[in-house]
């Protein structure tokens, strides 16, 4: 302290100069003289106060930066923080020596703890108030080992492997010096290592492999180094998905290796992308026509949960979980019929025009429909197929004309017809047994005479089969054939009546009056026409067979119609 007093006396005493007999020293000098920089300049180097300070009218003034350069010529150019000064104070401003070399004391400071020039963290703290990078990673290293504030370049970069000899980087090494490899990712040597993660998307947005921005996301794959090991980006070194997703079950993962490998379905750099194409890539033959369910990534995952919670959930989802119109997977069709009885997995669409699906259960019925061209589509008769079959449509909905003509007893078509083949399955005698039993030979086939639906006699009547008899005189008898014949019981004449029931003996003429000619059927047929005369007459008059052989008819002379 004695040395300081002498120095002050020498420098600031009464020297009879233009400033008078003495210099007024500010009261702050009592604190400032204890600062390390003053002790070096005044106490150790014996530098006069006026060498640095301006003396203004007997008072100790400021110490302009130009005074520093008079002694420290080599350090006159200050590179450090020069740009910051211009930003803060304009283009003419520069950094000051006093920004780093402190000669004064703040009100709250202890002079002995006033920071020295290389105590950089008084500005570059872990949480700086400006945008200067925090010194975090290399905190143990002296700033002067890299930075030279009075030299160009201001930073003498030490090769990273000098300290980090154990790091063998494999990423982005092509044609680069070791320190350039490191700074590819570690742009700021002051920031934490995790800050290098910010460089990954910047490079791989343009350089192969191109990685989409969706590769990282909050709450999941937040950084690239979550999967890739820093300094070793080889594919075989990538962290296994199971290291994080160990509790994530997969469909058939225990027995299907491809399902156990996450990358079989998920793209590693876009895990949240739609994996709908992944199933078809392996299961191409199982391509489905089932539409994608709401909220599902693909038609496949609409039924198959790729990440089931338990063994039961590993089965395909129940159809009724989406198709809720039915209470369960056996609630459609005839109830008790499983959906898969009709719908083949992966081929769900049904061709309603085809009977193939119906034939799986209704084999016999479908086979019968092949016998009828009009009945080959099940849906034409069975409404509501395939899920809600309702009552069978009436036959009359297609067969309008027969339905309008049919008599009351024949209105139920299925009493006679097998519905699928349409063939008659019940004969007429099933209902009309008495008529069938009483019908004469040749009249047993009812449809030979009757229209099947109306029951009416077919046009043409008996003449359709008995054409010759219809030409005989008795065809004109009132009542027709039924006058003498009945086709079947229960009504009508059981057998033809005698000729005398119509042809009274007293009304006949000529030789009819002869008692020997009273058996009508000897000369006439049953239908009233005459038999060939010579043959008929000769049957009785055998002795006259050679009588007038040239005559064709006996009645030419032997009259039956005359008196």
The reported pLDDT for the residue numbered 501 is 86
Helical residues (DSSP H) of 309-454, grouped into ranges = 339-342, 356-359, 363-369, 378-381, 400-405, 433-438
The reported pLDDT for the residue numbered 334 is 79
Decide if 436 contacts 442 (C-beta within 8 A).
no
The reported pLDDT for the residue numbered 352 is 72
Question: Measuring CA to CA, how many Å separate 180 from each of 33, 157, 160, 238, 492?
Answer: 47, 11, 9, 24, 125
The reported pLDDT for the residue numbered 362 is 92
Question: Measuring CA to CA, how many Å separate 121 from each of 38, 258, 526, 558?
Answer: 22, 55, 146, 166
Decide if 523 contacts 530 (C-beta within 8 A).
yes
> CA–CA separation, 58 vs 66, rounded Å?
21
- CA dihedral (507, 513, 518, 524) in degrees, to 10, reads -70
Q: Beta strands of 502-549 (E only): which ranges?
A: none
The reported pLDDT for the residue numbered 136 is 67
The reported pLDDT for the residue numbered 495 is 85
Helical residues (DSSP H) of 376-496, grouped into ranges = 378-381, 400-405, 433-438
Global pTM reads 0.52
The reported pLDDT for the residue numbered 1 is 33
In the block, residue with structure tokens 């008996």: 462
- CA dihedral (210, 211, 212, 213) in degrees, to 10, reads -130
In the block, residue with structure tokens 């300081």: 4
**Regions of the chain where pLDDT drops below 70:** 1-22, 85, 88-89, 93, 107-109, 112, 125-136, 157, 286, 311, 563
Decide if 308 contacts 249 (C-beta within 8 A).
yes
Partner residues linked to 267 by β-bridges:
270
> CA–CA separation, 456 vs 100, rounded Å?
130
How is 491-539 classified by DSSP, letter by letter? SS-SSPPPGGGTS-GGG--GGGGSGGG--GGGTB-TTSPBPPHHHHHHT
Decide if 482 contacts 430 (C-beta within 8 A).
no
The reported pLDDT for the residue numbered 192 is 80
């Amino acid at each position: 302290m004695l040395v300081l007093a002498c120095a002050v006396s020498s420098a600031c005493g009464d020297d009879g100069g233009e400033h008078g007999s003495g210099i007024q020293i500010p009261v702050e000098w009592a604190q400032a003289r204890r600062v390390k920089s003053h002790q070096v300049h005044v106490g150790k180097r014996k530098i006069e106060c006026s060498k640095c300070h301006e003396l203004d009218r007997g008072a100790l003034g400021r110490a302009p930066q130009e005074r520093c350069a008079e002694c420290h010529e080599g350090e006159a150019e200050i590179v450090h923080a020069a740009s910051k000064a211009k930003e803060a104070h304009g283009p003419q401003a520069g950094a000051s020596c006093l920004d780093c070399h402190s000669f004064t004391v703040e009100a709250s400071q202890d002079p002995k703890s006033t920071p020295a020039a290389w105590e950089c963290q008084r500005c570059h703290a872990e949480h700086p108030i400006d945008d200067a990078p925090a010194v975090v990673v290399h905190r143990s290293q002296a700033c002067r080992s890299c930075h030279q504030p009075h030299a160009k370049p201001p930073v003498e970069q030490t090769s990273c492997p000098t300290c980090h000899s154990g790091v063998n980087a494999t990423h982005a090494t092509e044609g680069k010096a070791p320190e350039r490899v490191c700074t590819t990712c570690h742009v700021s040597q002051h920031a934490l290592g995790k800050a290098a993660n910010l460089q990954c998307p910047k490079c791989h947005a343009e350089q192969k492999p191109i990685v989409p921005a969706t590769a990282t996301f909050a709450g999941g794959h937040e950084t690239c180094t979550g999967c890739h090991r820093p300094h070793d980006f080889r594919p075989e070194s990538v962290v296994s998905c199971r290291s994080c997703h160990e509790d994530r079950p997969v469909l058939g993962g225990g027995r299907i290796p491809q399902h156990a490998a996450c990358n079989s379905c998920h793209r590693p750099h876009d895990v949240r992308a739609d994996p709908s194409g992944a199933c078809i890539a392996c299961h191409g033959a199982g391509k489905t026509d089932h539409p994608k369910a709401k909220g599902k990534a693909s038609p496949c995952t609409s039924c198959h949960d790729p990440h089931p919670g338990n063994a039961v959930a590993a089965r395909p989802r129940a159809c009724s979980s989406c198709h809720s119109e039915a209470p369960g997977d056996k609630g459609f069709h005839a109830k008790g019929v499983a959906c898969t009885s009709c719908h083949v997995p992966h081929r769900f669409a049904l061709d309603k025009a085809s009977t193939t699906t119906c034939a799986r259960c209704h084999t016999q019925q479908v086979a019968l429909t092949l016998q009828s061209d009009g009945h080959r589509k099940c849906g034409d008769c069975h409404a509501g197929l395939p899920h809600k079959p309702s009552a069978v449509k009436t036959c009359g909905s297609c067969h309008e004309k027969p339905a309008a003509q049919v008599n009351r007893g024949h209105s139920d078509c299925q009493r006679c017809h097998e519905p699928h083949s349409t063939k008659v399955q019940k004969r007429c005698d099933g209902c009309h047994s008495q008529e069938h039993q009483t019908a004469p030979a040749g009249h047993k086939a009812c449809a030979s005479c009757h229209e099947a639906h109306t029951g009416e006699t077919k046009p043409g009547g008996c003449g359709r089969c008995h054409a010759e008899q219809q030409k005989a005189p008795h065809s004109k008898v009132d009542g027709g054939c039924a006058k003498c014949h009945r086709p079947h019981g229960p009504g009508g004449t059981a057998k033809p009546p005698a000729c005398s029931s119509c042809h009274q003996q007293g009304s006949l003429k000529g030789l009819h009056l002869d008692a020997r000619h009273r058996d009508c059927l000897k000369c006439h047929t049953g239908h009233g026409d005459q038999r060939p005369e010579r043959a008929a007459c000769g049957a009785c008059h055998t002795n006259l067979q050679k009588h007038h052989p040239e005559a064709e008819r006996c009645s030419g002379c032997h009259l039956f119609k005359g008196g």
